[in-house]
Amino acid sequence: MVYKYQVNGRNVFNLGPKHQCAGKHILYLHGGAYVQNFKKPHWDFLALLVKEINCTITAPDYPLAPAFTYVETFAMVEALYQEMILKVNPADFILMGDSAGGGLGLALAQKMKADQVNQPSQIILLSPWLDLTLSNPDIVTIDPKDSFLEVESLQTVGKVYAGDTNPDCYLLSPINGLLEGLGKISIFIGTKDILLADARKFKTLAESKGVCINYYEYADMVHVWMLLNFPESKKAKQQIMDLVRQY
Protein backbone atom coordinates (compact mmCIF):
# COMPACT_ATOMS: atom_id res chain seq x y z
CA MET A 1 0.00 0.00 0.00
CA VAL A 2 1.54 3.29 -1.13
CA TYR A 3 0.35 6.85 -0.87
CA LYS A 4 2.01 10.14 -1.70
CA TYR A 5 1.91 13.53 -0.01
CA GLN A 6 4.11 16.63 0.07
CA VAL A 7 6.38 18.40 2.53
CA ASN A 8 7.90 21.74 1.55
CA GLY A 9 6.59 21.17 -1.97
CA ARG A 10 8.44 17.85 -2.35
CA ASN A 11 6.93 14.40 -2.73
CA VAL A 12 7.00 11.98 0.18
CA PHE A 13 6.11 8.32 -0.36
CA ASN A 14 4.55 6.28 2.42
CA LEU A 15 4.75 2.49 2.07
CA GLY A 16 2.95 0.14 4.40
CA PRO A 17 1.16 -3.19 4.73
CA LYS A 18 -2.39 -3.46 3.41
CA HIS A 19 -3.70 -3.73 6.94
CA GLN A 20 -2.02 -0.95 8.88
CA CYS A 21 -0.62 -1.72 12.31
CA ALA A 22 1.15 0.32 14.94
CA GLY A 23 4.55 -1.30 14.35
CA LYS A 24 7.98 0.00 13.39
CA HIS A 25 8.16 3.13 11.23
CA ILE A 26 11.27 3.76 9.13
CA LEU A 27 12.28 7.13 7.69
CA TYR A 28 14.40 6.07 4.69
CA LEU A 29 16.79 8.45 2.94
CA HIS A 30 17.97 7.13 -0.42
CA GLY A 31 21.49 7.33 -1.80
CA GLY A 32 22.74 8.69 -5.11
CA ALA A 33 25.59 11.10 -4.27
CA TYR A 34 23.05 13.87 -3.59
CA VAL A 35 22.40 14.12 -7.34
CA GLN A 36 20.41 10.96 -8.19
CA ASN A 37 16.90 9.94 -7.24
CA PHE A 38 15.47 6.58 -6.18
CA LYS A 39 16.49 3.54 -8.24
CA LYS A 40 14.70 0.19 -8.59
CA PRO A 41 16.91 -1.56 -5.96
CA HIS A 42 15.71 1.01 -3.41
CA TRP A 43 12.06 0.23 -4.04
CA ASP A 44 12.70 -3.52 -4.06
CA PHE A 45 14.50 -3.27 -0.72
CA LEU A 46 11.82 -1.11 0.87
CA ALA A 47 9.06 -3.42 -0.38
CA LEU A 48 10.90 -6.37 1.18
CA LEU A 49 11.12 -4.61 4.54
CA VAL A 50 7.40 -3.80 4.49
CA LYS A 51 6.50 -7.38 3.57
CA GLU A 52 8.80 -9.15 6.01
CA ILE A 53 8.60 -6.81 9.01
CA ASN A 54 5.08 -5.48 8.53
CA CYS A 55 6.47 -1.99 9.04
CA THR A 56 5.69 1.42 7.58
CA ILE A 57 8.33 3.30 5.56
CA THR A 58 8.41 7.01 4.73
CA ALA A 59 10.72 7.82 1.82
CA PRO A 60 11.14 11.49 0.83
CA ASP A 61 12.10 12.77 -2.61
CA TYR A 62 14.44 15.31 -1.03
CA PRO A 63 16.00 18.21 -3.01
CA LEU A 64 19.08 17.26 -5.01
CA ALA A 65 22.11 19.03 -6.44
CA PRO A 66 22.85 20.80 -8.70
CA ALA A 67 19.44 22.50 -8.54
CA PHE A 68 19.66 22.71 -4.75
CA THR A 69 22.23 22.60 -1.95
CA TYR A 70 22.11 20.94 1.44
CA VAL A 71 20.25 23.98 2.79
CA GLU A 72 17.06 23.09 0.89
CA THR A 73 17.62 19.37 1.54
CA PHE A 74 17.81 19.87 5.29
CA ALA A 75 14.84 22.24 5.33
CA MET A 76 12.73 19.48 3.79
CA VAL A 77 13.97 16.46 5.78
CA GLU A 78 13.95 18.38 9.07
CA ALA A 79 10.33 19.40 8.52
CA LEU A 80 9.43 15.80 7.71
CA TYR A 81 11.31 14.43 10.72
CA GLN A 82 9.67 16.88 13.12
CA GLU A 83 6.26 16.02 11.68
CA MET A 84 6.89 12.29 12.04
CA ILE A 85 8.34 12.37 15.56
CA LEU A 86 5.09 13.92 16.80
CA LYS A 87 3.10 11.01 15.37
CA VAL A 88 5.39 8.02 15.87
CA ASN A 89 6.49 6.57 19.19
CA PRO A 90 10.27 7.24 19.31
CA ALA A 91 10.78 3.62 20.41
CA ASP A 92 9.31 2.51 17.06
CA PHE A 93 10.96 5.20 14.93
CA ILE A 94 14.01 4.17 12.87
CA LEU A 95 16.17 6.38 10.65
CA MET A 96 17.80 4.48 7.80
CA GLY A 97 19.72 5.48 4.69
CA ASP A 98 22.19 4.26 2.11
CA SER A 99 25.30 5.99 0.76
CA ALA A 100 24.63 9.76 0.65
CA GLY A 101 21.32 9.05 2.37
CA GLY A 102 23.25 7.40 5.18
CA GLY A 103 25.38 10.49 5.67
CA LEU A 104 22.30 12.68 5.49
CA GLY A 105 20.50 10.48 8.01
CA LEU A 106 23.30 10.63 10.58
CA ALA A 107 23.66 14.40 10.11
CA LEU A 108 19.89 14.79 10.52
CA ALA A 109 19.97 12.86 13.80
CA GLN A 110 22.85 15.04 15.01
CA LYS A 111 20.94 18.20 14.07
CA MET A 112 17.84 16.95 15.89
CA LYS A 113 19.96 16.22 18.97
CA ALA A 114 21.35 19.77 18.85
CA ASP A 115 17.80 21.10 18.55
CA GLN A 116 16.65 18.94 21.48
CA VAL A 117 14.21 16.95 19.37
CA ASN A 118 13.58 13.31 20.27
CA GLN A 119 15.97 10.81 18.71
CA PRO A 120 14.92 7.76 16.70
CA SER A 121 15.44 4.45 18.46
CA GLN A 122 17.91 3.41 15.76
CA ILE A 123 20.06 4.88 13.00
CA ILE A 124 20.90 2.21 10.42
CA LEU A 125 23.53 3.28 7.88
CA LEU A 126 24.17 1.29 4.70
CA SER A 127 27.51 2.07 3.02
CA PRO A 128 27.25 5.63 4.39
CA TRP A 129 29.09 8.64 2.98
CA LEU A 130 30.30 10.08 6.28
CA ASP A 131 32.86 12.64 5.11
CA LEU A 132 32.02 14.76 2.07
CA THR A 133 35.70 15.64 1.54
CA LEU A 134 36.90 12.05 1.06
CA SER A 135 40.24 13.25 2.45
CA ASN A 136 40.99 10.17 4.56
CA PRO A 137 44.48 8.97 3.44
CA ASP A 138 43.38 5.34 3.85
CA ILE A 139 41.12 5.77 0.81
CA VAL A 140 44.19 5.60 -1.45
CA THR A 141 44.75 1.91 -0.71
CA ILE A 142 41.07 1.02 -1.12
CA ASP A 143 40.42 3.02 -4.29
CA PRO A 144 41.89 0.47 -6.76
CA LYS A 145 39.50 -2.19 -5.39
CA ASP A 146 36.37 -0.04 -5.83
CA SER A 147 34.84 -0.46 -9.28
CA PHE A 148 31.81 1.74 -8.54
CA LEU A 149 32.85 4.96 -6.82
CA GLU A 150 35.41 7.51 -8.02
CA VAL A 151 36.93 9.95 -5.54
CA GLU A 152 37.27 13.05 -7.74
CA SER A 153 33.72 12.76 -9.13
CA LEU A 154 32.26 12.46 -5.65
CA GLN A 155 34.32 15.39 -4.40
CA THR A 156 33.02 17.49 -7.30
CA VAL A 157 29.34 16.77 -6.66
CA GLY A 158 29.97 17.13 -2.94
CA LYS A 159 31.18 20.70 -3.44
CA VAL A 160 28.05 21.51 -5.44
CA TYR A 161 25.82 20.06 -2.71
CA ALA A 162 27.74 22.01 -0.04
CA GLY A 163 27.36 25.34 -1.82
CA ASP A 164 29.26 28.04 0.06
CA THR A 165 29.54 26.01 3.27
CA ASN A 166 32.78 24.38 4.42
CA PRO A 167 32.37 20.66 3.62
CA ASP A 168 33.87 19.82 7.02
CA CYS A 169 30.62 21.07 8.61
CA TYR A 170 28.94 18.15 10.37
CA LEU A 171 25.75 18.65 8.36
CA LEU A 172 27.80 17.66 5.32
CA SER A 173 30.38 15.41 7.00
CA PRO A 174 28.67 13.89 10.06
CA ILE A 175 31.87 12.08 11.02
CA ASN A 176 32.77 15.49 12.50
CA GLY A 177 29.55 15.76 14.49
CA LEU A 178 28.29 14.71 17.90
CA LEU A 179 28.24 10.95 18.50
CA GLU A 180 26.90 10.83 22.04
CA GLY A 181 23.19 10.74 22.83
CA LEU A 182 22.00 9.59 19.42
CA GLY A 183 19.83 6.59 18.59
CA LYS A 184 21.54 3.19 18.45
CA ILE A 185 23.85 3.28 15.40
CA SER A 186 24.45 0.35 13.07
CA ILE A 187 26.79 0.49 10.05
CA PHE A 188 27.05 -1.92 7.12
CA ILE A 189 30.07 -1.55 4.83
CA GLY A 190 32.05 -3.63 2.31
CA THR A 191 35.82 -3.82 1.88
CA LYS A 192 35.69 -2.92 -1.84
CA ASP A 193 34.13 0.47 -1.09
CA ILE A 194 36.17 3.66 -0.73
CA LEU A 195 33.74 4.72 2.01
CA LEU A 196 35.17 1.88 4.13
CA ALA A 197 38.01 4.15 5.31
CA ASP A 198 35.65 6.56 7.03
CA ALA A 199 33.37 3.80 8.32
CA ARG A 200 36.39 2.34 10.12
CA LYS A 201 37.41 5.80 11.33
CA PHE A 202 33.88 6.40 12.61
CA LYS A 203 33.94 3.09 14.51
CA THR A 204 37.24 4.06 16.15
CA LEU A 205 35.90 7.52 17.06
CA ALA A 206 32.75 6.02 18.56
CA GLU A 207 34.76 3.56 20.63
CA SER A 208 37.03 6.35 21.88
CA LYS A 209 33.96 8.20 23.15
CA GLY A 210 32.43 5.13 24.74
CA VAL A 211 29.65 4.95 22.14
CA CYS A 212 28.78 1.37 21.27
CA ILE A 213 27.72 0.77 17.66
CA ASN A 214 26.78 -2.30 15.65
CA TYR A 215 29.43 -2.62 12.96
CA TYR A 216 29.12 -5.07 10.04
CA GLU A 217 32.07 -5.20 7.65
CA TYR A 218 31.73 -7.61 4.71
CA ALA A 219 34.82 -8.88 2.90
CA ASP A 220 34.93 -8.25 -0.86
CA MET A 221 31.57 -6.48 -0.96
CA VAL A 222 31.01 -3.38 -3.09
CA HIS A 223 29.16 -0.15 -2.45
CA VAL A 224 25.55 -0.66 -1.26
CA TRP A 225 25.78 -4.41 -1.92
CA MET A 226 22.99 -5.04 0.60
CA LEU A 227 20.43 -3.70 -1.90
CA LEU A 228 21.56 -6.23 -4.53
CA ASN A 229 21.06 -9.99 -4.84
CA PHE A 230 24.35 -11.59 -3.80
CA PRO A 231 24.25 -14.28 -1.08
CA GLU A 232 25.91 -11.66 1.13
CA SER A 233 23.11 -9.24 0.24
CA LYS A 234 20.51 -11.68 1.54
CA LYS A 235 22.51 -12.15 4.74
CA ALA A 236 22.81 -8.38 5.28
CA LYS A 237 19.10 -7.86 4.58
CA GLN A 238 18.29 -10.45 7.23
CA GLN A 239 20.59 -8.73 9.71
CA ILE A 240 18.95 -5.38 8.95
CA MET A 241 15.50 -6.84 9.48
CA ASP A 242 16.63 -8.47 12.73
CA LEU A 243 17.90 -5.08 13.95
CA VAL A 244 14.59 -3.43 13.14
CA ARG A 245 12.70 -6.12 15.06
CA GLN A 246 15.14 -6.30 17.96
CA TYR A 247 15.22 -2.76 19.30
Local structure of 212: helix, strand or coil: coil
Alpha-carbon span 191 to 184, nearest angstrom: 23
Alpha-carbon span 190 to 225, nearest angstrom: 8
Q: Which amino acid is at 14?
A: N
Q: What is the DSSP letter of 117?
A: P
Chain segment 60-97, per-residue pLDDT in tens? 999 999 999 999 999 999 999 999 999 999 999 999 99
Percent of the chain clearing pLDDT 90 (strictly above): 95
Please state the separation of Cα 63 from the chain's center in Å: 15
What is the arithmetic mean of pLDDT over 13-17? 93
Local structure of 246: helix, strand or coil: helix
Chain segment 123-178, per-residue pLDDT in tens? 999 999 999 999 999 999 999 999 999 999 999 999 999 999 999 999 999 999 99
Chain segment 19-49, per-residue pLDDT in tens? 766 689 999 999 999 999 999 999 999 999 9
pTM over 0.95: yes
* Per-residue model confidence (pLDDT) at position 22: 62
DSSP string, 153-178: HHHHHHHHHHTTS-TTSTTT-GGGS-
Structural domain range at position 164: 2-245
Chain segment 94-119, per-residue pLDDT in tens? 999 999 999 999 999 999 999 999 99
Read off the pLDDT band of 18 (50, 70, 90).
confident
Q: What is the DSSP letter of 118?
A: P
H-helix or E-strand containing 12? strand 10-15
> Where is pLDDT greater, at 18 or 147?
147
* Per-residue model confidence (pLDDT) at position 3: 87
Alpha-carbon span 76 to 216, nearest angstrom: 30
CATH number at residue 43: 3.40.50.1820
Chain segment 170-224, per-residue pLDDT in tens? 999 999 999 999 999 999 999 999 999 999 999 999 999 999 999 999 999 999 9
Find the DSSP H helices in 23-146: 40-53, 70-85, 100-114, 139-142
Number of domains in the chain: 1
Q: What is the mean pLDDT of the chain?
A: 96
